[in-house]
Chain A
Amino acid sequence: MRKMDYYRFRLIKDYAARFIVYLSLTVALIPLFSILYEVVQKGISTINIDFFVNPTPTVGEKGGGAANAIQGTLITIGLASLIGIPIGLMSGVFLSEYSEHKLSVIVRFFNDVLSGIPSIVIGVFAYALIVRSIGFSVIAAAFALAIIMIPTVTRTTEEALKLVPLSLREAAIALGVPRWKTILTIVLRGAKKAVITGILLSIAKISGESAPVLVTMGYWRWWFAGLNRPAANLALNVFVFAVSPFENWIALAWGSALVLILLVLGINIAVKIFTRERY
């Protein structure tokens, strides 16, 4: 009889634990889905051909779109990636493959510090360094975003490379392959998927950054006009239009928010698909 009681007690504990886990999961997902619901519901009506073809409307103008903001965002992210990814990638390789080097402790420490700095502070830094000399511009914003992505790329690259077994490095070195070539061919190739995943996630992270863009890009509602000029930006569209008094501008803010979320979601889905196919 006592054995039965103990068994029932364990069953109850099992159900209670499961209930708490499911409840926590639901609580965690409610904000996500309510944001998605709200943005899709309010933004979907703005999404039409006009939205992807026309630039921002002027005051009083009907319709208009966010095509210039999509263009500006992609160019800014592209330039930031061009600066940030190589630096992050090479720092990650250095930390993983040359960890015996005296500098690596210092580099790892400052990389961690950098990843903890609020993005607005990095924005202000870019403002002091670049905006004050050449003005609000794509270059200044891309520079700030590149600095934000460097620590993420560095860390994920380092972790990815460390997962490549030492035995594979030794196999290549014992064949008389120089160390640098071993890293480029065997180590980076073995960690390719994890490295690219880290890069994609860092791109997703900077796509939605608004604070550093706000202090470096300035406001621009025309098409892209050069890297040393400002450009329109999806995150800034949300920031500027959401508080405007015009109905079509507010609608554009929701539309821009939706496109931004879809962009980040798309990158995340790409990561999932990319990491699934393994042999």
Chain B
Amino acid sequence: MAHKFEIENLNAWFGARQVLKNISMKIEENAVTAIIGPSGCGKTTFIRCLNRMHEITPGASVSGKVLFNGLNIYGNGVDPVMIRRKIGMVFQKPNPFPMMSIYDNVLAGLKLNGVKDKKILDVVAKQSLELANLWDEVKDDLNKSGASLSGGQQQRLCIARALAVNPEVLLMDEPCSALDPIATAKIETLIRKLAENYTVVIVTHNMQQAARVSDYIAFLYLGELIEYGQTKQIFENPKHELTERYLTGEFG
């Protein structure tokens, strides 16, 4: 299997506080990798380093290499805007643009970057919404405000919006933490479907969810990568004592 990301000695800071310590790992292409670990261990910071979102926080800094398709995204002359178009992101709380319709929300990435051809836009809107399993629910309400949808629908709208710019990777930061179990189940089914064509990296607090959706699991603790391997191996035969204690619910 090919590696989508090769991360070498990644460190990240907020001001003087180091939140990621020397992380090195390789992320498989067209698979779901779950990042787990207790609160404050750096899970969110880690995935925000993968599409250069970490650095937009004032005072935040990064060192190390993140090779994406072999190219170091922190190298000289790399435009973070281009990186973010290839590596999409879905946030913890659904964040559709409240002043835009459902249609405009899905196409926000294209429209804001100057695509005007109505035919292309219509096709992309339908494809993205279908891919996000939302088309059937909203096809008659495309002109309604994105904020009028339920939480789970809003999150799928955000996934459709991220997919519309045709990325290769989808980073998901606890995408179900604000949702009910039914909406969560829909998103989890969707994640499995997306893994056929996209590389998915998902942060989750929920170990059952990690077990259900992921192919690989990385366990972070206090900013360090403690263990990384196939989901089955991590759950059945963790090599590290800390991983086992976390998985059995000894701390969280």
**A58 contacts partner chain B, Cβ-Cβ < 8 Å:** no
Give min CB distance, A164 to chain B, whole Å. 10
A177, B91: Cβ atoms closer than 8 Å: no
Residues of B within 8 A of A190 (CB): 97-99
- Interface set, chain A 143-199, CB cutoff 8 A to B: 165, 167-168, 170-179, 181-182, 185-186, 189-190
B58, A175: Cβ atoms closer than 8 Å: no
**Main secondary structure on A side of the interface with B:** helix
Give min CB distance, A267 to chain B, whole Å. 25
Give min CB distance, A104 to chain B, whole Å. 11
**A279 contacts partner chain B, Cβ-Cβ < 8 Å:** yes
B84, A176: Cβ atoms closer than 8 Å: yes
B95, A177: Cβ atoms closer than 8 Å: no
**A244 contacts partner chain B, Cβ-Cβ < 8 Å:** no
Residues of A within 8 A of B58 (CB): 99-100
**B123 contacts partner chain A, Cβ-Cβ < 8 Å:** no
Residues of B within 8 A of A177 (CB): 81, 108-109, 112-113
A176, B99: Cβ atoms closer than 8 Å: no
B95, A181: Cβ atoms closer than 8 Å: no
Which residue from chain B places its CB closest to the CB of A279 in the assembled complex? B145
Residues A174 and B162 in contact in the complex (CB < 8 Å), given A168-B95, A168-B97, A279-B145: yes
B84, A171: Cβ atoms closer than 8 Å: no
- Interface set, chain B 44-71, CB cutoff 8 A to A: 51, 53, 56, 58-59
**Main secondary structure on B side of the interface with A:** mixed
Which residue from chain B places its CB closest to the CB of A171 in the assembled complex? B95
Residues of B within 8 A of A170 (CB): 53, 56, 91, 95
Give min CB distance, B60 to chain A, whole Å. 10
Using a Cβ–Cβ cut-off of 8 Å, how many residues does chain B contribute to the interface with A? Answer: 29
Partner of A175, one of B59, B88, B93: B88
A176, B85: Cβ atoms closer than 8 Å: yes
- Interface set, chain A 77-104, CB cutoff 8 A to B: 99-100
**B82 contacts partner chain A, Cβ-Cβ < 8 Å:** yes
With A and B bound together, what is the CA distance between A190 and B88 in angstroms?
23
Which residue from chain A places its CB closest to the CB of B93 in the assembled complex? A167
Residues A175 and B95 in contact in the complex (CB < 8 Å), given A181-B112, A279-B145: no
B165, A175: Cβ atoms closer than 8 Å: yes
The digit string for B153-166, where 1 denotes a CB below 8 A from any CB of A, is 00000100110010
Partner of B81, one of A99, A168, A176, A279: A176
Give min CB distance, A248 to chain B, whole Å. 53
Which residue from chain B places its CB closest to the CB of A186 in the assembled complex? B97
**B234 contacts partner chain A, Cβ-Cβ < 8 Å:** no
**B89 contacts partner chain A, Cβ-Cβ < 8 Å:** yes
Which residue from chain A places its CB closest to the CB of B53 in the assembled complex? A174
B112, A171: Cβ atoms closer than 8 Å: no
Residues of B within 8 A of A189 (CB): 99
Q: Which of A99, A100, A170, A190 has the most CB of B within 10 A?
A: A170
Residues A178 and B95 in contact in the complex (CB < 8 Å), given A170-B53, A172-B112, A279-B145: no
Residues of B within 8 A of A176 (CB): 81-86, 109, 113, 165
A171, B53: Cβ atoms closer than 8 Å: no
Residues A175 and B91 in contact in the complex (CB < 8 Å), given A186-B97, A279-B145: no
A100, B95: Cβ atoms closer than 8 Å: no
Give min CB distance, B141 to chain A, whole Å. 15
- Interface set, chain B 91-120, CB cutoff 8 A to A: 91, 93, 95-99, 108-109, 112-113
Interchain Cβ contacts under 8 Å between A and B, 8 examples: A171-B97, A171-B158, A174-B162, A175-B161, A177-B81, A177-B109, A179-B56, A186-B112
Interface residues, chain A, with chain B CB atoms under 8 Å away: 99-100, 165, 167-168, 170-179, 181-182, 185-186, 189-190, 279
